[in-house]
Structure 1
């Protein structure tokens, strides 16, 4: 009898431990500068949140949160530069494997921007670039309703699936996405606007899953040592504003978004990179060109609205379109200077000594499709 009791206990413990395993790990930034990083993970059973980290595996500091959750977010300080951090996460008695990420550099910064991630492509080329930060220009998932069922705005399963598709990338590289319409599609869009809202404008699941600065549906992030600021805006399908197809926040002159971006662009470092998910030419014409005037305060704008690679030049501003699904219908910008129907991403390299920002449109086969350099601007 004792034998069977012990066997049952062992089986119960094994099943419980397996069910409560640490399943996904990803890194984000919640602060406005890279002196802190957020370590995120999920567990199928709730528990506390503990991160062990340091510059060597045998001398690590511990940060604890005594919460009881299955979605864990712990912010840790980053004091070092040009170093490798080691870390592992813990919930209860469960530990993850040891992982690493790069501290930010002192000489040359590498940032990648991707968009239209629905197809889950091979990112071997991007991994070879050994980036310090990964950003997006929207549409990180296909939608919420196919995985979660219609009408469930807080379901994070599609985002867990994204992290699960690239485990090594996300546990080693800070990730700061922006919103597209697909990221908050809680009902099928259909051919006509229905009586109920199709999109969750507040992006409940996205904001629950990612720890980002500001309101998270818009944010800014500075890397002062390199004189660069990234600003994320919530633009997608703006022609649907005011209908049940509305997907993004308002952008009129009195909107929170317009006033915020106006203040963000008034004083900024040598480079300002703006991210959104609407067609560039459409955004330039908004408010009788007022948005374009704000964009002129910066260096470049990046969208993932179209399924192609493009660079356009207008009034001293460079507008990029990049897509990991780059073989769709092309509708060139009236001011297009480069256009290609290839899967692509952007690689930004900033040299600290000169302040020069190099931007490459790269294919997923590691081809450089287009290359431009930008000198830093004086403070606006």
Structure 2
């Protein structure tokens, strides 16, 4: 049987970061992945330009049963640390809204940076390998279609269940559970939300229309773009709130954040507004959205003929639209998995299982889920780095 120091399951962002760090420490590292190429999620992220981190990554922008768990790794390998590596690799990048950093060129540059560093560190990357049973008898033993490998340390870096067409299966969860580690409830995150047929009758004509919105669920709210789809709602604000949404929850949506539609219509009416109500409201919303708002409010006609109560109804429909999604588009389009291997079972500094020395869990497999905007990649870099110092 082949033996090595470390076997890492998964050649994604976290797995590659862990591998190159462990290799630099002189550890013999084998990385196994079923895919034909490493870093497939990196390649498709950010429209092919990879939103590789965010300027800031405070723990408040991560969901977990234990929100403080991520602090150790995030504070020891920061966004600035990863940016420095990108700069040293000569990869040009730019900043978009809300601190999001993207490659100027292809996301493949980030993959090349990581695989190049792994090669320099002597990491053995093996792609297209099917992983079978994983057991422990003194050492960890990983069965593959090319034979078994025994190792002192095993790192679970296969991600969650999101985007199954890329091969996501929840393998890390099954292996962890087999070793006695608890797995929290998992669900799709950063995913479009869907609506019942009666709601869609009003929304379908708006498919493809976007607005700058504020979407709220309880005390949590996001002010970003909202996109109407044939199945419901998407766009950054919806993807963000989806990680918090549970079946039965209602959302409050402001379709014209920063504005006051009711006041604006009253002022227009006071200035002698003789035009149609639709035309007046369309100055503040896309016309199709304005039609939807008026249709749901049961209003039409001239602005000058509208009483204050009617304008108040419009204001509520624009700024306090109450909607109740019936579901999401699921793991098929979800960018991440919310939940995962319980942080209570892991050492926050090393990512090692407390009850099983030599077993490590990193990246999306852990019950740590970031907001949209580079946070999940930063968690992958930070948790992978932390484990790489310890395996």
Larger RCO (alpha carbons 8 Å, 6+ apart): 2
Query: Rg bigger for which structure?
Result: 2
Normalised TM-score (structure 1): 0.23
Bigger helix fraction: 2
Bigger strand fraction: 1
Normalised TM-score (structure 2): 0.22
